[in-house]
């Protein structure tokens, strides 16, 4: 069996083309979506993510502003800044780049963001709305991107048994809730496994769709999956590789080379789930602008 490669770059490009057209139409009605991104400190990975978010905004025609704060910024200063943008009607979305410096309480920061501007989908109000299937919430970007990858690659989860490895608040728990909803692109039977699951292979071998988000390089081996499975690899792990130019390379949570021989379809790392995250952030920002300006959804 030759696995279909689910190309996240291509799917993201398709969604961005749709968004660009949608935004152009909104501008004709006098509405331009706006996003403010706040980053505290100099974390290298965060700097890259923030730059890419800004580039995506420029590409699509979204008004954006990036606020770069020094690492010694106090929690109260950050909370006051968020409150300022909560009240600024120019911006439909607020994103605070994580992780934050250790002296700042992440939960306090997320709680301060107006839920109607929480385009990351992490505020408890949006999490609760996601669980009950409300239409006016913002789905977390990476899980929402996973759903889009499945649907747009012809692997609709409806009626399928989805097994999720990992129970994080960022991927595992939300994708479980998203895919079990009674809704298009969902209606799946979902099992969630984690680091304390016994006989994990007993569950993963039952999967029609396997989503790996456990943060362990090459954790899922070929003997853990059945023939014809669809595999979504969320892992991004850097491992040593003497043959690589810089001595390291990125791998997922799935042993790609062995599993692709049994899978019906599989996402690569890099180039699978990764490109979808920022794209879904853009989609949430557009949704927020529509809600704020009472435009037709």
Identify the active-site residue in 97, 208, 233, 283.
97
Q: Which helix (DSSP H) or strand (DSSP E) does residue 193 occupy?
A: strand 189-193
- The alpha helices in 194-255, defined as continuous H runs, are 200-204
What is the number of residues in the chain?
A: 297
Residues 6+ apart with CB under 8 A from 275: 8, 9, 11, 12
Q: Any idea what DSSP says for residue 2? A: -
Identify the active-site residue in 92, 118, 120, 253.
120
Q: 178 has which bridge partners?
A: none
Q: Is 97 a catalytic residue?
A: yes
Contact 242, 228 (CB under 8 A): no
Q: Is 120 a catalytic residue?
A: yes
Identify the active-site residue in 53, 117, 283, 287.
53
CA atoms within 13 A on the CB side of 40: 23
The torsion region of residue 233 among left (phi > 0), alpha (psi -120 to 50) and beta comes to: beta
Q: Is 53 a catalytic residue?
A: yes
Query: What residues act catalytically?
Result: 53, 97, 120
């Amino acid at each position: 069996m030759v696995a279909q490669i689910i190309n996240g770059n291509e799917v993201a490009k398709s969604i961005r083309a749709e968004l660009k057209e949608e935004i152009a139409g909104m501008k004709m009605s006098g509405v331009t979506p706006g996003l403010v991104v706040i980053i505290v400190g100099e974390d290298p990975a965060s700097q890259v993510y923030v730059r890419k978010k800004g580039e995506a905004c420029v590409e699509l025609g979204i008004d954006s502003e990036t606020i770069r704060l020094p690492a010694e910024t106090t929690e109260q200063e950050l909370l006051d800044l968020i409150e300022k943008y909560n009240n600024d009607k120019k911006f439909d979305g607020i994103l605070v780049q994580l992780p934050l410096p250790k002296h700042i309480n992440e939960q306090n920061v997320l709680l301060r963001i107006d839920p109607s501007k929480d385009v990351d989908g992490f505020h408890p109000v949006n999490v609760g709305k996601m669980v009950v299937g409300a239409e006016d919430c913002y789905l977390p970007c990476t899980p929402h991107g996973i759903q889009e990858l499945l649907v747009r690659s012809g692997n609709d989860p409806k009626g399928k048994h989805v097994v999720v490895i990992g129970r994080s608040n960022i991927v595992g728990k939300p994708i479980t809730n998203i895919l079990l909803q009674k809704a298009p692109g969902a209606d799946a039977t979902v099992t969630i496994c984690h680091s304390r699951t016994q006989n994990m292979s007993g569950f993963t071998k039952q999967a029609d769709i396997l989503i790996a988000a456990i943060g362990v390089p090459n954790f899922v081996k070929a003997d853990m999956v059945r023939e014809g499975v669809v595999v979504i690899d969320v892992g991004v792990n850097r491992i040593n590789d003497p043959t690589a130019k810089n001595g390291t390379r990125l791998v997922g949570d799935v042993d790609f080379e062995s599993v692709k021989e049994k899978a019906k379809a599989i996402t690569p790392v890099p180039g699978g789930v990764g490109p979808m995250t920022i794209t879904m952030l853009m989609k949430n920002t557009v949704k927020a602008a529509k809600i704020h300006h009472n435009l037709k959804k």
